[in-house]
Structure 1
Amino acid sequence: MATSVEGLQADSVGWQSNPNRRGTMAIIQSSIFTILACTWSIQHLNVPSQNDGFWTKLLRRCKWTLLTILLPEFLMAHAVFELTMGLSTMRAMQTAVILSNDREGAANNIRVVYPWWRRKFPWWRGEKVDADNKHQWTLTHSYYANMGGFCVESPQSSVDGRKEDQPCIALTGRQIARYWKHIDLPLLSERAISDKSKADFFTKAIATVQIASLLLSIIVRTARGLDFSQLELITLAFAACGVFTYVARWYKPQNVDTATTVNLRAEADLEQFEKMKAQEYDRFWQAVRHVPGDSERIYEGRIPNDYLPQYLPEYKTLAGILQVHPALFALTIISVVVGSLHLIAWNFQFPTRVEQITWRTAALITATEKS
């Protein structure tokens, strides 16, 4: 019970409903929370170096979250290219296993099994991925390899025991296929890799609820002829990028802290190990800036999160021969699509004419700057 200052008895205070109008602060809080939940939960970073501590890993994830907020199309384009790299790794592994069988004259235990959407009539042919089968190489294995999940120790470290002087060398999927006859790859089932993955289902659930709530709100308001804010439109663009990025990384493990050790075979020597240390990949930023990678770089201890295979096809132009990484085409297409979402607010109401022109100009630049 509460009384007024005049001593008169006031009405009892019970349940008070929220106002039926949305406030500015409520829209801002909901949008920021949705953006943070989306950008944080979709981070599937590569396996860290064995010398990385807690704060190094945390700062690295914060850095990539901030990068996703600033350039959501960058992470989405890289996720799509990671998927193509995973499928390419499966083809390379299939070739390596076949060649190994031909040379050794004996059946190899590893069998490459593609995901159901890459197989023709899998229900009729009886092909399926067995999560407990250690003799299958799946798309999850390809992701695990390309993120630095398999590492090989130096032959010297196994002799003198000084592992800290000879760091474990992370091998990409293509390197595993190339040096297939020189290594003894541990048999890991898809379930074993999933157990190493520590997916943040709670954060993803929160992000899913926030995205569903935002999408439902926009659909209902549009159906009723009501406007929604420009901030909600930007949040919707982030949500769309987050959903497509997560779908592209469906088979990629998350938050894997330690790699699986791969042993060199007896006939492998230190020279083969030194060849494995060559970084035969590009960085996404190098592809964007048209800077070719250097296969003679010194090993840095882990596979970077913007890893791309070295691939620079040549294109004939009026100015001569141009080398462009295919990742740049993927980034261009996705940037145009994501940037075009801002054009939805072309006829939205703005406080002033200047703000409307500024929004339209920025939307056009965002949709066309990469093209």
Structure 2
Amino acid sequence: MTLLVLYAVLFCVPFVCASLPSLNDTYIHTLDSSNFSPSDTRTLWDILLSCGLTLFACTWTAIHPNIPGVNDGVVLIIFYRLCLMVVALFIPEFMTIWAMAQFHYAQRAAMDFNRGFGAQRAQSHSDDQAICQSERAVTEWTLTHGFFALMGGFVLYVKGEPRATLTPSELREFVYKGYVEMPVITEAEIEDRSKGDGLYKCIAILQLVWFVVQLIARTAQGLPVTLLEIDTLGVAALACIAYPFWWKKPKDIRRPYIVHWNSEG
């Protein structure tokens, strides 16, 4: 993490320096200190700190990594998370497209499960309204269920040993053929496993809003704005676009739901 921060600082310094007045210019502006208030002058580290906090707040909360595999170690998990941070910083468009695609597939996975099993079980218990409502509560999938299945939330165990991470289509096929039982997990249980909630996203959005207000105020007063700040605004804005699509996606889940193979299926 320290190397990543150091690299980001070294990468950003040229952008800031390119935007600051140069002493080697042929024409040098004479600045009268009486015309500027202390709030108008900023140091290099002030700019780096402001941009760094905004980038970290927006990209860190925007990243929603998939659930690690059963054989993934701590080093691999950290490396995967750092790679996502680098992608979010330097290719923010990819994160936005990825979030939109996952939202579409998660929504479709939930609809497929509800069509395939929800109506079927509700119809089989139509004579008993209480049982029908209970089965609906178990089998009706939400968008959170779709995200959970898409991010590797269901792991197949055979004879007590992990065998594979099931995709939504594989899980649906195994349940339909009777190889595994229908997973019984509610949306509240999935959210309880999540390490993040809407508060983190709201704090990041507030940080971005404050950053934008500062830029607008400086522009209105005729004060200079660095290239780094403009680039930070673009990266943070693209990261925030992914928030609505990943709002229902669980964050930083480490334990998947175990699905046992039915030997009698």
TM bracket, shorter-chain basis: 0.7 to 0.9
Q: C-alpha displacement at 1:69, in angstroms?
A: 1.4
| Unaligned ranges ≥5, structure 2 | 1-36, 127-131
Tell me if the contact between 1:151 and 1:168 (Cα under 8 Å) persists in the aligned partners.
yes
| Unaligned ranges ≥5, structure 1 | 1-16, 112-132, 269-371
The residue number in structure 2 matching 1:152 is 156
In the alignment, which of 87, 91, 94 is matched to residue 74 of structure 1?
Answer: 94
The residue number in structure 2 matching 1:251 is 248
Tell me if the contact between 1:140 and 1:253 (Cα under 8 Å) persists in the aligned partners.
yes
Q: C-alpha displacement at 1:235, in angstroms?
A: 0.6
Tell me if the contact between 2:154 and 2:165 (Cα under 8 Å) persists in the aligned partners.
yes
Residues 318-333 of structure 1: matches in 2 within 5 Å? none
Corresponding position: 1:213 with 2:210: yes
Higher relative contact order (CA 8 A, sep 6+): 2
Q: Deviations over 1:84-139 (max 9, x none)?
A: 0011112211221167459x94567654xxxxxxxxxxxxxxxxxxxxx5453110
Residues 134-213 of structure 1: matches in 2 within 5 Å? 134-154=138-158, 157-158=159-160, 163=161, 167-181=162-176, 182=178, 183-199=180-196, 204=201, 207-213=204-210
Q: Deviations over 1:192-224 (max 9, x none)?
A: 111111117786566334312211112223444
One-letter code of the match for 1:139?
L
One-letter code of the match for 2:152?
G
One-letter code of the match for 2:77?
K
Q: TM-score, normalised by structure 2?
A: 0.73
Tell me if the contact between 1:110 and 1:137 (Cα under 8 Å) persists in the aligned partners.
no
One-letter code of the match for 1:90?
A
Q: Percent same amino acid among aligned pairs?
A: 29
Structure with the bigger percentage of helix = 2
- Tell me, in whole angstroms, the C-alpha distance in 1 between the residues paired with 2:87 and 2:58: 13
Corresponding position: 1:52 with 2:47: no
Q: TM-score, normalised by structure 1?
A: 0.54
RMSD (Å), alpha carbons: 2.7
Q: Deviations over 1:249-286 (max 9, x none)?
A: 00000010011111233542xxxxxxxxxxxxxxxxxx
Q: 1:85 to 1:52 in 2, by over 3 A?
A: same
Tell me if the contact between 1:76 and 1:245 (Cα under 8 Å) persists in the aligned partners.
yes
